[in-house]
Structures are given as C-alpha cells and as structure tokens.
Amino acid sequence: MNTFLSILVLVVGIVLIVAVMLQPSKSEGLGAIGGGNTSTWGKNKGRNFEDTLKRITIVCAVIFMVSSLILASLQ
C-alpha cells in the first residue's frame, strides 16, 4: 500500500507540475477578479485547452493532497 501511494504521489506530482507549467500566464494580476473569460460561462465551457488544463490541475491537486495525507497517516 505504501509503495502504491508513493508512486501515485510521484506520478501525480509530475503531472501537476507539467499542467501548471503549460498554463498561460495572466498578466492582469488581481484585476482578473472583476473581468472574466467569456468561455467560462459561454457555450464552449470546458472545450478549450486552458479549461482542460485547469480541470487537470484541480483534479491532480486533490488527488495529490488526499494521497499524501493517507500516506502520511500510514507511517
């Protein structure tokens, strides 16, 4: 079980790093709070590359945190 969780944390961590590095930077800074991407609420929601990377990042982050906590509690 420890070996599986260790490998899972390693693989998900690498995927998380790659997903974050591939995301385009937002030069607006905190000004992005007021304005938003039109595809977020439009009919193309989740169909472009940025939305897919965002979804992959969120899923990988949750898997990474949960598996890390389980691995730490087993030791």
Query: What is the per-residue pLDDT across 4-18, written as a single tens digit (0 to 9) for each?
Result: 999 999 999 999 999
Does some domain include residue 67? Answer: yes
pLDDT at residue 56 above 80?
yes
Q: How many domains does the chain have?
A: 1
Q: Mean pLDDT across the chain, nearest whole number?
A: 83
> Where does residue 4 rank: exposed (0-12), middle (13-18), buried (19+ CB within 10 A)?
exposed
What one-character-per-residue DSSP string does 32-52 give?
Answer: GGTS--HHHHSTTTT-SHHHH
pLDDT at residue 55 above 70?
yes
Does some domain include residue 35? Answer: no
Q: Whole-structure pTM over 0.75, yes or no?
A: no
Does some domain include residue 10? Answer: yes
